[in-house]
Structure 1
Amino acid sequence: MNSFNEEISSKLGLIRNTLSETGASAVRLRGTDWFAWATAGASNAVLLAAETGVAEVVVTAQAAWILTDEIEAERLQDEELPGTEDSANPLYKLYINLWADSAARESFIRDVTAGGKILSDRPTGDEAPLPSSLVKQKRVLIPCELERYRQVGRLASEAMTEVLSNAQPTWTEYQLAGASAQALWSRGLHPALTLVAGERRLPLYRHATPKEEPLGRAAMLVFCARGYGLYANLTRFVFFGSSQANAEIRNYASGHRHIREIEAEALNFCLPDKPLNGVYDVLDRAYHQHGYPQAIRQHHQGGTTGYLSREIIVNPSSSQTLAENMAIAWNPSLPGAKIEDTFIILKDGRLENLTFDPKWPSVKVEGRDRPVPLEID
């Protein structure tokens, strides 16, 4: 059995344990996140902005199926799921309905569950939500997932470096976003989110969707890049012209120093079994200590990541705990300054940075390489 089948077998085992513990007849997974998790990184996405895709997973105690329609079946079987099926003993059977007959799929579900209880990631009708125990399993990554994640992080960071190294102050924000999409797609990554702010908009907006205006003397670029269903989240800045040449760019540089030190407090706290709301408290105190008491109210601070760009956005009531092999991506920010990378919490308490390109300029902060703005004269 190949590694993909071993991973899928393991995850089917987790799902069936959930069925046994809850007495449910089936688990039904519709989301792009859960589909990728259950299929060892396959994609059911066509419309990238959609939370659900063109196929779903249904698992009972006796069998497991990929459900899709006649438009998608051949492509999925040829390109997304070739490693999931052994002709003698398939892990997933394929159920195909006519694209114009969605009722047939619901009838199939009723038949294989005998009308029993269904658990779902996106429940509808009489379906019930997935239990927290299974949700937690999805958020803690196993070794083969981590290997895929390292690849996604490396490719995303290389794309970021390539794009900003070639950027010009006369480019519009649209042009920078377009170059980013090209760099990500050329590496096989989905540009799930691309934010761009040039000099004028940089101090005004935290979530700066691109507009048709020139970058000017400074720009921020944010990626949520998806590969194998996993999200690499990172933020970088570029300054055009020496930062010694004008006061505004020097002010931005000062903000970046503060934000690196604020982020370091959060990263130092990230150990297995630590509460997520503890990270929020650490960031809140750090903002106060650096003279920005309202900053935590002006942008969310990131959270855990993985098969969603944010599995949990941290807030004061986040009672969940961090765990070994969980992915995190904090993004503390100030006007004109932000920092973000995707890390894995390791067993010994160290953090592995998945999205840092050694070609990018950096400084050491609490022993970690942290990005600084790229300066292009």
Structure 2
Amino acid sequence: MNLINQEIYYKLELMRKALSETGAMGVRLRGSDWFAWATAGGSNTVLLASETGVAEVLVTAKDAWILTDEIEAQRLQDEELPGRDESSDRLYKLHINPWADKVARESFVREGTNGGKILSDIPTTHESSLPLSLINQKRVILPTELERYRRVGRLASEAMTEVLLKAQPTWTEYQLAGAGAEALWSRGLHPALTLVAGERRLPLYRHTTPKQEALGRAAMLVFCARGYGLYANLTRFVFFGLEQANAETRNFASLHSHVHKIEAEALNLCVPGRPINVIYDALGQAYEQHGYPEAIRQHHQGGTTGYLSREIIANPTTSENLVENTAVAWNPSLPGAKVEDTFIIQKDGGLENLTFDPKWPSVKVEGRDRPLPLEID
């Protein structure tokens, strides 16, 4: 049995264990994140802005189905559901309903589950939420998933470097965002998020959706890049002719030394067993020590990632513990500066940076390579 099939079989067993523990008759997964998880990287996405897609997963004690309609079935079978078992049968059977007859799908689900309890990631009135045990399993990156994740992180970071190396101060924020999206698409990644701030807007807002104005002497580009359902989150900066810039813009560059040290407090605490809110509190203390006590309240600080851009956003009450093979992406920020990469927490407490590009300028901070702003004369 190949590794992808082993992964899918393992996840089917996890879902069936949830059925056994809860007395439910079926697990029904609608979200794009859960579909990718259950199919070892398959995609049910057509509309990028939607949390759900054009197909669902239904798992019972005996069967596993992909529910879709006649518009999508052939493409999904050919391109998104490659796994086969040793008898050359699909790991998931396809149930295809007429695209104009949604009632047919619901009738099939009721019959397949004998009208019993259904667990779902997006439950309807007559369904129940997934158990926390299964949700936690989704957040742990398996070895086969890690290989895919490494590829997504590498491609996303290469796209970022490629775009910012050719960026110009006369580009608009729209142009930079468009170039970033193009670089991601050309590598087979979904540009789930591309934030851009030029010199004027950089100190004003944390979530800077791009606008039609020139970058000027400074720019920030943020990616949430999705491949195989997994998110690579990273942020980079570029400065043009910094020596000729005004004092405020030159100060943006100096602020990166602060966010590097603040981020290091979080990364040093990323070990299995550590409660996430302990890291949040440490970030708050670090902001205070660096003279920015209000910054912890001016932007979320990141948290765990994986099949969602943020699986858990850290806050004072997130008491869940980090576990081995969890992905994290912290993004401490100050007005005009931010740092962000995607890491995997290893067994020994080490961190593997999935979005590190050796071609990008970096500096050692607490023994880790952290990105510097790119300076272009």
TM-score when normalising by structure 1:
0.98
Q: Cα–Cα, structure 1 residues 97 and 85, in superposed 2: closer, same or farther, change >3 Å?
A: farther
Measured in 2, the distance between the counterparts of 1:28 and 1:236 equals 38
Report the Cα distance in structure 2 between the residues aligned to 1:351 and 1:139, rounded to whole angstroms: 16
| Paired position in structure 2 for 1:190 | 190
Instruction: After superposing the two structures, state which structure 1 stretch, 293-302 or 248-257, moved more.
Output: 248-257
Across the aligned residues of Structure 1 and Structure 2, the Cα RMSD in angstroms comes to: 1.0
CA distance in 2, matches of 1:25, 1:230: 28
Counterparts of 2:363 and 2:307, CA distance in 1? 30
| Matched pairs, number | 377
- Secondary structure of 1:223's counterpart equals strand
Matched, 1:178 2:178: yes
In the alignment, the residues of structure 2 paired with residue 244 and residue 136 of structure 1 have an alpha-carbon distance, to the nearest angstrom, of 51
Partner of 2:90: 90
Question: 1:142 maps to what in 2?
Answer: 142
Please state if 1:296 is matched with 2:296: yes
Show structure 1 runs of 5+ residues with no match: none
The Cα shift of 1:89 comes to 4.3
Percent identity for Structure 1 against Structure 2: 77
1:54 deviates by: 0.2
Q: 1:204 to 1:269 in 2, by over 3 A?
A: same
Q: 1:219-298 counterparts in 2 under 5 A?
A: 219-243=219-243, 246-298=246-298
The letter for the 1-side match of 2:308 is: L
How far has the Cα of 1:246 moved from its partner?
3.9
2:63 aligned partner, one-letter code: A
Q: Which moved more, 1:311-320 or 1:247-256?
A: 247-256
Residue identity opposite 2:91 in structure 1: L
In the alignment, which residue of structure 1 is the partner of 2:334?
Answer: 334
Residue 10 (structure 1) aligned with residue 13 (structure 2): no
Distance 1:49 1:199 in 2: 28
How far apart are the structure 1 equivalents of 2:64 and 2:30? 14
SS in 1 for 2:78: helix
Counterpart of 1:308? 308
C-alpha separation in 2, matches of 1:293 and 1:3: 48
Amino acid at match of 2:235: T
Alignment check: 8 A CA contact 1:44 1:53 kept: yes
Which one-letter code corresponds to 1:331 in the other structure? N
Conservation of the 8 A alpha-carbon contact between 2:217 and 2:242 = no
**Correspondence for 1:355:** 355
Q: Give 1:87 deviation, angstroms.
A: 5.6
1:47, 1:89 → 2: CA distance?
29
Q: How far has the Cα of 1:229 moved from its partner?
A: 0.1
Q: Note the C-alpha offset of 1:83.
A: 2.2
Contact 1:266 1:283 in 2 (8 A): yes
Equivalent-residue separation in structure 1 for 2:244 and 2:358 (angstroms)? 25
Against the structure 1 CA distance between its residues 243 and 296, is the aligned structure 2 distance closer, same or farther, given a 3 Å change threshold?
A: farther
Structure 1 distance, partners of 2:49, 2:223, is 14
State the Cα distance separating 1:2 from its structure 2 match.
1.8
Measure, in 2, the Cα distance between the counterparts of 1:6 and 1:327. Answer: 22
Q: Distance in 2 between matches of 1:94 and 1:59?
A: 12
Task: Judge conservation of contact 1:327–1:342 (CA < 8 Å) in 2.
Answer: yes
- Contact 1:29–1:57 (8 Å) recurs in 2: yes
Q: Report the alpha carbon displacement of residue 341 of structure 1 after superposing the two structures with TM.
A: 0.2
* Contact 2:83–2:90 (Cα < 8 Å) also in 1: no
- Contact residue 169 and residue 215 of structure 2 kept, 8 A: yes
Q: Give, in whole Å, the separation in 2 of the partners of 1:153 and 1:96.
A: 35
Q: Give the corresponding residue for 1:207.
A: 207
On the 8 A contact 1:243/1:249 being kept in 2, the answer is no
**Any unmatched runs of 5+ in structure 2?**
none
Shift of 1:90: 3.3
Q: 1:259 corresponds to which letter in structure 2?
A: V
Q: How many Å apart are 1:249 and its aligned residue?
A: 2.8
Q: Which residue of 2 aligns with 1:118?
A: 118
Judge which range, 235-244 or 151-160, deviates more. 235-244
- Paired amino acid for 1:271: V
Contact residue 184 and residue 190 of structure 2 kept, 8 A: yes
